[in-house]
């Protein structure tokens, strides 16, 4: 379906009557809902695993876990999150150079499902390593290419773009809500492996939905836009083999271990990110105007990494916080610690459609002043400041364990923060993307999440070794400074075409 068309409730393309002037159209293309569906179920499985992963690693064998230390668990959880998103540029490269994006998404979903099955059926460290390895590969194939295909549904300056991404992100949040609810309940009642099995079933449902709607995705996703030469294929294969060999040597010699794994992951993320910027800036397939846009994306990349460092502490800092510092009892019922993150997601689900509807309302009124995209990003960090400011106050207001209600309020503010920032960040990355590097630009945005996930592991370790007030105050100050920086970037980015 052409991006110039919209769909009514019956699915038919709408065209303005020749007798009447065309009215502003802000309805969304049907392909958005196909892509939102598989991304929702992928996030169901991903976040379903994330909320119980650290507990699985540091709980004792008697409680169904692996019995490692809390510090090791936070390091592994952070490193895993970083590697998941580090694989995304590879998946994007395959879609741009070797295999069509539509095919990559389907293959990625199958590999993810296999990873969760491995976690469910194979006990101990072997099951953990096999499952996490498959999930990282599959997520790298699926996620950047669904995001890139959403961008291809719209013209560059389409007023539907931001609202479309908000709808897409709401689907992500729905998966992020029900995944933890399912796995958290099953883990508490029956054990970790039942939770992993639920994640596998969720991914299977997403694959079926995507297969049924595969013909509604953009036509460009069915072809390889920038095919690699035969020589390039051999170079890529050689690089992959060399990388695997290097990792094998580091692990077998003890140089790389669970204690320092996250150091290597973060270093690799930084090197890959810089390399991607250099490749795009020097490519002959990138025009002069596109090169300026890529340069303009650099400060947004940095602030994006800071944002995800804050949010992804849900699975490191706040996982330990919920388990050790929060009174989880409600009227005699002891809520699973894994449920804490669901309040953040519920807030995002409620706020997401409201933000999208308001955006569409503004888009339908061309003469009404609309807040700039960068202003929305800055507002996200203002809300982040409020979130961490609340947690800095809690130890001063309460003795012993923190009551559940104030913690829920903090999670609600964080959830609103996420839907204010994350979908807009995706939209900006799409707007600034060179034509020849569309999927890879989206993967570069994914690397902000990789850096944030890895850094969240370090933040979890820092939280464990400092006072709560000092730690959360530091996070508050960082949020304030980032909001001010983004606000000052409004004019330069507007000149680059960021509305």
- 399 burial class (0-12, 13-18, 19+ CB within 10 angstroms)? exposed
Burial 329-358 (b: 16+ CB within 10 A, else e): eeeeeebbbbbbbbbbbbbbbebbeebbee
Q: Which of 211, 210, 215, 223 is closest to 36 using CA atoms?
A: 210
CA dist 430 and 412 (Å) reads 28
Q: Is 333 helix (H, G, I), strand (E, B) or coil?
A: strand
Q: Is 334 helix (H, G, I), strand (E, B) or coil?
A: strand
Residue 99 C-beta-side C-alpha neighbours within 13 Å: 14
- Which residues lie below 8 Å from residue 155, measured CB to CB, with a gap of 6+? 3, 4
**Does residue 441 contact residue 432 with C-beta atoms inside 8 Å?**
yes
Task: Measure the CA dihedral 275/276/281/282, to 10°.
Answer: 60
User: Which CATH code is given to the segment(s) 31-495?
Assistant: 1.20.1250.20
Q: What is the pLDDT of residue 73?
A: 86
CA dist 260 and 454 (Å) reads 12
CB atoms inside a 10 Å sphere around CB 451: 26
**Does residue 61 contact residue 247 with C-beta atoms inside 8 Å?**
no
Q: Which two tokens stand for residue 438?
A: 């569309």
Q: Is 14 helix (H, G, I), strand (E, B) or coil?
A: coil
Q: Which of 469, 447, 462, 492 is closest to 143 using CA atoms?
A: 447
Q: Which of 272, 298, 43 is closest to 179 using CA atoms?
A: 43
**Would you give per-residue pLDDT tens digits along the chain (499 residues)?**
333 233 333 333 344 444 444 445 557 788 888 898 999 999 999 999 999 999 999 888 888 889 888 888 888 888 898 888 788 878 888 888 888 888 999 999 999 999 999 999 998 888 998 999 999 999 989 988 898 888 788 766 666 777 787 788 778 878 988 999 999 999 989 999 999 999 999 999 999 999 988 888 887 888 887 777 777 778 878 877 888 788 888 877 878 877 788 888 899 999 989 988 998 888 888 888 888 888 888 888 999 999 999 999 999 899 889 988 999 988 788 889 889 988 988 888 888 778 777 777 766 666 666 667 777 888 889 999 999 999 999 989 998 899 999 999 999 999 998 888 887 887 788 788 888 887 678 778 878 988 999 999 889 888 876 788 899 999 999 999 999 988 887 777 777 766 5
Residue 52 C-beta-side C-alpha neighbours within 13 Å: 34
CA dist 427 and 319 (Å) reads 30
SS (H, E, C) 145-198: HHHHHHHCCCCCCCCCHHHHHHHHHHHHHHHHHHHHHHHHHHHHHCCHHHHHHH
Which phi-psi region, left, alpha or beta, contains residue 331 (left: φ > 0; alpha: ψ -120 to 50)?
A: left
- 38 burial class (0-12, 13-18, 19+ CB within 10 angstroms)? buried
Q: Which two tokens stand for residue 315?
A: 């699975």
What Cα–Cα distance (Å) separates residue 70 from each residue in 60, 109, 258?
11, 31, 12
Q: What is the pLDDT of residue 367?
A: 65
CA dist 224 and 239 (Å) reads 21
């Amino acid at each position: 379906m052409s991006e110039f068309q919209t769909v009514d409730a019956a699915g038919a393309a709408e065209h303005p009557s020749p007798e009447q002037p065309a009215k502003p159209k802000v309805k969304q293309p049907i392909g958005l809902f196909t892509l939102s569906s598989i991304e929702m179920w992928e996030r169901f499985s991903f976040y379903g695993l994330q909320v119980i992963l650290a507990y699985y690693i540091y709980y004792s064998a008697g409680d169904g876990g692996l019995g490692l230390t809390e510090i090791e668990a936070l390091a592994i959880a952070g490193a895993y999150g970083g590697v998941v998103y580090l694989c995304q540029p590879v998946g994007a490269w395959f879609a741009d150079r070797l295999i069509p994006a539509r095919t990559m998404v389907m293959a990625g979903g199958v590999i993810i499902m296999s990873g969760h099955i491995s976690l469910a059926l194979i006990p101990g460290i072997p099951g953990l390593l096999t499952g996490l390895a498959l999930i990282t590969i599959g997520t790298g194939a699926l996620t950047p290419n669904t995001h890139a295909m959403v961008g291809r549904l719209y013209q560059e300056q389409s007023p539907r773009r931001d609202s479309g991404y908000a709808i897409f992100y709401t689907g992500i949040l729905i998966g992020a809500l029900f995944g933890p609810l399912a796995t958290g309940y099953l883990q508490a009642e029956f054990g970790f492996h039942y939770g992993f099995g639920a994640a596998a079933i969720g991914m299977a449902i997403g694959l079926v939905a995507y297969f049924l709607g595969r013909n509604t995705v953009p036509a460009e996703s069915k072809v390889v836009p920038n095919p690699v030469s035969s020589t390039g294929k051999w170079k890529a294969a050689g690089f992959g083999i060399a990388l695997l060999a290097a990792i094998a040597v580091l692990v077998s010699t003890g140089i790389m271990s669970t204690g320092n794994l996250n150091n290597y992951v973060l270093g690799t993320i930084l090197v890959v990110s810089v390399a991607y910027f250099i490749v795009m800036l020097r490519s002959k397939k990138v025009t002069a105007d596109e090169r300026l846009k890529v340069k303009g994306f650099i400060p947004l990349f940095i602030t994006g990494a800071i944002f995800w460092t804050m949010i992804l502490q849900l699975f490191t800092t706040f996982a330990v916080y919920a388990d050790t510092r929060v009174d989880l009892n409600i009227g005699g019922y002891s809520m699973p610690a894994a449920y804490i993150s669901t309040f953040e997601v519920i807030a995002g689900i409620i706020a997401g459609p409201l933000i999208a509807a308001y955006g569409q309302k503004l888009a339908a009124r061309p003469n009404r002043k609309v807040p700039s995209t960068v202003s929305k990003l800055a507002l996200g960090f203002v809300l982040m400041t409020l979130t961490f400011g609340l947690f800095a106050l809690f130890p001063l207001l309460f003795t012993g364990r923190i009551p559940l209600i104030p913690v829920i309020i903090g999670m609600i503010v964080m959830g609103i923060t996420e839907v204010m920032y994350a979908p807009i960040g995706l939209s900006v990355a799409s707007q600034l993307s060179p034509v020849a590097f569309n999927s890879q630009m989206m993967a570069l945005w994914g690397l902000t999440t990789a850096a944030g996930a890895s850094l969240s592991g370090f933040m979890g370790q820092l939280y464990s070794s400092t006072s709560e007030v000092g730690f959360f105050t530091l996070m508050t100050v960082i949020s304030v400074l980032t909001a001010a920086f983004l606000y000052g970037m409004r004019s330069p980015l507007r000149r680059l075409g960021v509305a």
